[in-house]
Amino acid sequence: MNDEVARILAAAAHGEFPPPDGATTVVPQPGSRDAGVLAFTAHSVVFTDADPDWVRAELAATSADPLAASMNPAFLLALMARTGRRMNTIDLLTVADALPGPPPLELREIDDPSHPRVARALKYRDEVRVWAAEGGVLILGRGVAGRWEAAVEVDEEVRHRGLGRALATAARHLTPGDVVWAQQAPGNARSVRVFQAAGYRPVASEALLTAV
């Protein structure tokens, strides 16, 4: 497994970002499952097994603004066509430091690979664990480049009671790593607010390409 994406992410998690020089770094995929684009401040990282020369030529042809080219829909469509992959959305990528001790709410682990939430998570992550709380679910697993990622779901009837923030905070206690990552669709302002209230810091935007 190539570890360049893991190195870039680990540095960003601790406040060390690629230089804001308007450039794009092209690196191999960290594994067969994941390809995509990370857009930091004035610097992008494309992780793909596609020809790097093709990537750079396509970026140059896509947009006159190098700061926007890697997340331009035309480039992303071309990258999907080139790799035979698909994507769902461009996410806000956030990260938070791990916290000591047990989480501050009662959770019940779901140990059932056939459970719908577990089965879905396994399509995108490894070493998946799922916990249920009254009215919500916390999912934790290894995603891109082996990073620990969290996702939460809250039932509509119990929203606005702080459960989403509590679950996002619980992930910081339960992660085996020194940090935990989470993605939010920028248009889902409620989710963005929940994770930032739980201490997650914005790091980059991410377009994740998955195998069809």
Q: Is the pTM of this model over 0.75?
A: yes
Label residue 129 exposed, middle or buried (CB < 10 Å: 0-12, 13-18, 19+): middle
Quickly state the pLDDT bin for 113 (edges 50, 70, 90).
low
Mean predicted confidence (pLDDT) in 87-116? 89
State the pLDDT at residue 134: 86
Report which of 174, 196, 169, 199 is spatially closest to residue 184, judged by C-alpha positions: 196
Task: Report d(CA 75, CA 54) in Å as an integer.
Answer: 11
Domain at 93-202: CATH code: 3.40.630.30
Q: What tens digit of pLDDT does each residue of 120-171 get?
A: 777 778 899 999 888 888 999 999 999 999 999 887 766 767 888 999 999 9
The confidence score (pLDDT) of residue 1 equals 45
- The whole-number average pLDDT for the span 95-124 is 83
Average pLDDT, the chain: 91
pLDDT in tens, 44-75: 999 999 999 999 999 999 877 888 999 999 99
23 has a pLDDT exceeding 80: yes
Phi-psi domain of 42 (left: phi exceeds 0; alpha: psi -120 through 50; beta: other): left
In this structure, the number of other CB atoms found within 10 A of the CB of residue 111 comes to 9
**What are the sequence ranges of the domains in the chain?**
4-92, 93-202
CA distance 114 to 11: 36
Kindly report which listed range (38-47, 97-106, 132-141) carries the lowest average pLDDT score: 132-141
